[in-house]
Structure 1
Amino acid sequence: MDIKAGFFYLFSAVLLFASFRVITARNPVYAALYLVLAFFQAAAVWLLLKAEFLAISLVLVYVGAVMVLFLFVVMMLDVDVDALRAGFWKHFPIAALVGVVIALEMAAVLIGGFTPPAEPTAGPAAAQAAQAGASAVLQVSNTKELGKLLYTQYLFPLEVAAVLLLVAIVAAIALTLRHRKDSKAIDPSLQVRVKARDRLQIVKMPPVLAAVPAAPEAPAAEGAKA
């Protein structure tokens, strides 16, 4: 076993452990942190497969944006973890059964892609040409080739996706900034134009008179008793 295979098994083992802890951790913050660890291990596996663009995209998009936002939301919301996980172990056997079935189905579908094709017998000249072509393919950067495809052959779908994302951003901002009666937003222009006399108002009030002490009450009960 070479060092590349060793790293693959190491990253895969940590990925499986982190994925299992995502669904078994009682604290949602810990579950999110284990999910971040799983994303990093998946990115490392993609690096071993020479998919650098997918690896850096996974780290930048999911770890750098989505999971940070998820952590902020989880920490801001006071989630009752015990109430959410009250019936977890009750439904765990059927959930595990469904997970095993899905894993077996995916393995049955994808197992054909891992079987190496039969190598045709060829002469030494053909073998040398195939080896030269393989070395030339290995030297090509997949990120560079993906960029060429995006900005040449798939330029129009890329522009359509960019316009859709821009419309979604504008729509989200427009929905957030609507004027509602229960909103407590303050207009910044009014804050800028405010003056000192508008903030502080001096009111003249008459002086407060000292309170007159009350006369002591006669002990009526003691006089009636005497």
Structure 2
Amino acid sequence: MIAALAFYIFAAILIASAVMVVTSRNPVHSVLFLILAFFNASALFLMAGAEFLAMILVIVYVGAVAVLFLFVVMMLDIDFAQLRQGFQRYAPLGAVIGAILFLELLFVYGSWQFAPDAATLRMNAVPADPTVTNTEALGRLVYTDYIYLFQISGLILLVAMIGAIVLTLRDKPANSKRQDIGTQIARAEAVPLAKVPAGAGLGTLGIIRRKLPEPPKPKAVAQDDHGHGGHHGGHH
């Protein structure tokens, strides 16, 4: 009873936080809701017996990826009002693509069939061999049976990362400072070395330092007969 109640609570919070990630107008709030979704998904993995996936989700995604997203969003000077200008123009195309994806999900759900032994394996991630740990069993599946799918998913993430960088830097101003390796290592404007006698100073090389301006002298203050300075005020 307690496990079922905890499952529904974590699942409800996970779905709500996932919706807020997409619908939040502030990108910082979206990243914070994403971190909340990761924590709830980690709790679901822990309840299912996959403690390795639960810890990896917290350490890798929450501790590294989500925090990196947060820093990138806060440091980049992105004009979100300008990004939303073409929303109405591309809304019909987006609606068509969304409808196609929704129909594909319906087709997949309609043709989905559970394996005969799926009911017995539900909420039981312990391998059949008691000598094999949960982490070892997961490694065997990922790096043997599904190695090609694993590599393809990594390639997709790499392409998405490169695309995000290109889209971010495409409107970079022309007068921004860029690194020029050729200028840094060039020796065309190098200063020749010269042997200067000890004590000769810079004048031997024709280098004359500009004299600094003298500090202003303090103004003299007039004093009266009693030795007091300043202006005399009239008394009425």
TM-score of the superposed pair, with normalisation by structure 2: 0.49
- In the alignment, the residues of structure 2 paired with residue 88 and residue 141 of structure 1 have an alpha-carbon distance, to the nearest angstrom, of 55
Contact 2:52 2:134 in 1 (8 A): no
- In the alignment, the residues of structure 1 paired with residue 60 and residue 73 of structure 2 have an alpha-carbon distance, to the nearest angstrom, of 18
1:56-75 deviations in Å (ceiling 9; x for gaps): 11111111111111111111
Residues 207, 115 of structure 1: CA spacing in aligned structure 2 closer, same or farther, 3 A cutoff?
closer
- In the alignment, the residues of structure 1 paired with residue 119 and residue 56 of structure 2 have an alpha-carbon distance, to the nearest angstrom, of 34
- In the alignment, the residues of structure 2 paired with residue 45 and residue 207 of structure 1 have an alpha-carbon distance, to the nearest angstrom, of 74
Residues 31, 140 of structure 1: CA spacing in aligned structure 2 closer, same or farther, 3 A cutoff?
farther
Tell me which residue corresponds to 1:3.
2
- In the alignment, the residues of structure 2 paired with residue 137 and residue 113 of structure 1 have an alpha-carbon distance, to the nearest angstrom, of 19
Tell me which residue corresponds to 1:61.
60
- In the alignment, the residues of structure 1 paired with residue 72 and residue 35 of structure 2 have an alpha-carbon distance, to the nearest angstrom, of 15
Higher RCO (C-alpha 8 Å, min separation 6): 1
Contact 1:14 1:38 in 2 (8 A): yes
Tell me which residue corresponds to 1:35.
34
Tell me which residue corresponds to 1:223.
none
1:175-223 deviations in Å (ceiling 9; x for gaps): xxx982577xxxxxxxxxxxxxxxxxx9472876x9xxxxxxxxxxxxx
Tell me which residue corresponds to 1:113.
114
Select which of 136, 155, 161 maps to 1:147. Answer: 136
Quote the offset at 1:116 in angstroms.
6.3
Alignment of 1:85-124 (within 5 A): 85-88=84-87, 90-91=91-92, 93-94=95-96, 96-108=98-110, 111-113=112-114
Residues 8, 81 of structure 1: CA spacing in aligned structure 2 closer, same or farther, 3 A cutoff?
same
Tell me which residue corresponds to 1:49.
48
Tell me which residue corresponds to 1:80.
79
Tell me which residue corresponds to 1:25.
24
Instruction: Tell me which stretches of 4 or more aligned residues in structure 1 moved more than 4 Å.
Output: 114-119, 136-142, 148-151
Contact 1:26 1:81 in 2 (8 A): no
Tell me which residue corresponds to 2:11.
12
Quote the offset at 1:117 in angstroms.
6.5
Contact 1:27 1:81 in 2 (8 A): no
1:84-108 deviations in Å (ceiling 9; x for gaps): 2344473564455345334434434
Contact 1:12 1:45 in 2 (8 A): yes
TM-score of the superposed pair, with normalisation by structure 1: 0.51
Question: Is there any run of 5+ residues in structure 1 with no aligned partner, and where?
Answer: 120-133, 162-177, 184-201, 211-226
- In the alignment, the residues of structure 2 paired with residue 118 and residue 206 of structure 1 have an alpha-carbon distance, to the nearest angstrom, of 89
Aligned-residue CA RMSD in angstroms?
Answer: 4.3
Paired positions, count? 153
Percent of residue pairs bearing the same amino acid type: 38
- In the alignment, the residues of structure 1 paired with residue 43 and residue 180 of structure 2 have an alpha-carbon distance, to the nearest angstrom, of 47
